[in-house]
Structure formats: C-alpha cells, structure tokens
Amino acid sequence: MIRWSVLAAGALVALGVATVSPVAAQSVNRNLIDQLNLQLIYVALPLTLFVEVILVYAVIRFRNNDDPEPTAENPTLEVTWTVATAIVLVFVGWSAYNVLASPYISPTPEVEAAPPDVEPDAEIDVLAYQWGWQFDYAAANVTTQNLLVLPRDEDARLRLRSDEVLHSLYVPELGLKQDVFPGQNTTILTRALENGRYRGYCTEFCGDGHARMRAQVYVVDPETYRQWLAAHEDERLVTAPPNASVGNATGAANATAATSRFSSPA
Ligand SMILES: [Cu+2]
C-alpha cells in the first residue's frame, strides 16, 4: 500500500518538474535565475513529498495508539537527519552562491580601482528621475527618454543613478531588477538573447507619478542597434524606437524629425 503511494508520489513529482521547465530565456540574467529556481524545485519537491508521505503514514498507522511512547536515543536516526539536512543546505547555498556571484546578477558599486571582469559592447548611463527614465549612450552622443535599446547577444552595462529619491529599474522578462540610489552609481550587466519589445518599470514607490514611470525596452540585432544610434547621433531625448512601424504605433504623439530620418537612413 505504502509502496504504491510512494510510486504515485514519484510520478507526480516527475510530472510537476516536467511542466515547470522554462522556455528559452530572453537574457543571460533571466537564464541564471530560472535555472536556479528549477534546480531548487528539483530538490524541494521530492523532499516535500517525502515528509508528507511520512506524516500521512504516521497519522494513519498510529491513529489508535492509546499509549504512545516518544522515541528516545536513536543515534542512527539523529545522525542521518543531521547529515541529510546539512547536505541539502550546502547544495542550496552552493547553487545560490554560484548565481549570486555572477556579474549578471549582482550589481557592482562604482569603484574605479576594481573594474568588472566583462568588457561590455554597449555602455549606457541611466538616470532615474521623478518621473521617468533617461538613457544616455555617451559614445554615440544620444540620449533617449523612457526608451532603452539593447543589442542582442552583446553585453550591455547600465550605470544607474538618481538625482533625488530612490527608484528601481525592473525589466522582468530580462531578469533585471535593481534599486537606483541618489548620489551613487550602481552598475548592472545584461546580455539579451531574444529580439523583442519588453516593458520596464520603476518598482520603488517614488511619489505620485510613480505609476507613470515606465520605459519601453527594445532588443534588436546588433546592426539595427548601430544604425539606430547613428541615425540619432547628437540628438537629445529620442523616443523613436529602432523599428519605425512600431515607433509610429506607440510614439505618434512624440514623433519628431528623428522618426522620419530613421525611416530613410542616409
Ligand atoms: Cu521611480
């Protein structure tokens, strides 16, 4: 009887794990986070079922025991559960540490003496303000408003700062979430893996315009990215995304000469 319930439980675990397998992630950051979640679920699900099965078994098996005796002095049992717990904790700690140690996950405070290991292909200064986002592509002399464009399959380093209060940049699909502090630069690293249009939010309540503090995030081919930068060189507060048709649909009110200039690149 018990053997069958254990088998059924095992089948359920296999089914559960099979259904939570994530689809291909949109960024290296997101990949790392999803893989860690999956790894921990593989350990947590069988353990949960193991405990529940023992619990249910004990409740049923000993339900009519009028004179229960506590277990005293069982060194084998005690050593077993101590060692098993230690192994689980070491596994969880090791898995989490590996992900946290990645430069794609943990931000780097601005310390000139210790540059991050990865040399990025794109460097973008991000200014969070009440209420919006400004992105500064210093190398191309382009700034954008509420519009972040990233080259696919290339490392992008975002240097975040705020002028007044706490904000937080949140792009869930790319696995980005980082507080932005006044008077302090915080650097994060990402590499997007899929072309697309994603949403960015401020996720730190920052005043009555907080809900309006959103950004469009575009991931495009590296060539498209460079063409877009070249088309907007020396422009301030660009709102026209690389894809002209999408830009017309979303940014009609903000359409500037920049849009038409991009549609017919020189
Ligand atoms: Cu904010």
Task: Report pLDDT digits (tens) over 132-185.
Answer: 999 999 999 999 999 999 999 999 999 999 989 999 999 999 999 999 999 889
| Mean pLDDT for all residues in the chain | 84
CA of 205 to the centre of ligand 1 (A): 6
CA of 142 to the centre of ligand 1 (A): 22
Residues 6 or more apart from 13 whose CB is under 8 A from it? 45, 46, 49
Segment among 35-49, 71-85, 133-147, 233-247 with least mean pLDDT: 233-247
CA dihedral 95, 32, 168, 107 (to 10 degrees): 70
Domain-by-domain residue ranges, the chain? 2-61+77-100, 110-263
CA of 165 to the centre of ligand 1 (A): 8
CA of 204 to the centre of ligand 1 (A): 6
- Cis before 81? omega within 30: no
CA of 186 to the centre of ligand 1 (A): 15
CA of 203 to the centre of ligand 1 (A): 7
pLDDT digits (tens, 9 = 90+) for 26-63: 999 999 999 999 999 999 999 999 999 999 999 999 89
pTM assigned to the model? 0.75
Find the mean pLDDT for residues 208-213.
95
CA of 174 to the centre of ligand 1 (A): 19
> Do 13 and 46 touch, CB atoms closer than 8 A?
yes
> Do 185 and 151 touch, CB atoms closer than 8 A?
no
Torsion angles phi and psi, residue 164, rounded to 5: -125, -65
CA of 116 to the centre of ligand 1 (A): 27
CA of 218 to the centre of ligand 1 (A): 20
On whether the 110-263 domain is CATH 2.60.40.420, my answer is: yes
Residue 9 has pLDDT above 90, yes or no: no
CA distance 204 to 200: 12
CA of 257 to the centre of ligand 1 (A): 29
Residue 7 has pLDDT above 50, yes or no: yes
Tell me how far apart the 2 most distant CA atoms of the chain are, in Å: 91
Residue 250 has pLDDT above 90, yes or no: no
CA of 178 to the centre of ligand 1 (A): 11
Residue 245 has pLDDT above 60, yes or no: no
CA of 83 to the centre of ligand 1 (A): 46
CA of 7 to the centre of ligand 1 (A): 51
